[in-house]
Amino acid sequence: MSASLEQQPQASVMRASDLTEVIEVELRNYPFPWTEGIFHDCVKAGYTCQVLRLEGVVIGYAVLQVAADEAHLLNICIDKAFNRKGYARSLLEKMLLLAKRQGAQTVFLEVRPSNPRAITMYDLAGFNEVGLRKNYYDTYGGREDAIVMAKIL
């Protein structure tokens, strides 16, 4: 491999031993982050949890819950130092593939209206707006609604 070619990140199953790094990324990227306990519960419950590593370092992660024929993308994040490289889109595609392999026919997610980059990514991935959850997210000024999006696999 040429030295000028950038190494591509690799996705793998999130383990309890990854949670320290995952929390560090979460804390750097969200003003109202998930706790380590939430991530631990998701791993313990058997949710589909992936970490994205670049040169051995966690740069992103995703958490997906699958039940019956529906999946819910609960969290997806790429550390802001690695934004705009296509890593989030790649991780999203991986999670959609994993959802389909587990029998999901539809994937749902919530996104902040104040996050246009994420909304655009989901639109480009084939998600459609299907609803609104009032006062869903914490903000410094109170609460923010969530746009509910869905994609049929």
Which residues have a catalytic role annotated? Answer: 110, 122
Q: What is the 3-state secondary structure (H, E, C) of the chain?
A: CCCCCCCCCEEEECCHHHHHHHHHHHHHHCCCCCCHHHHHHHHHCCCEEEEEEECCEEEEEEEEEEECCEEEEEEEEECHHHCCCCHHHHHHHHHHHHHHHCCCCEEEEEECCCCHHHHHHHHHCCCEEEEEEEEEEEECCEEEEEEEEEEEC
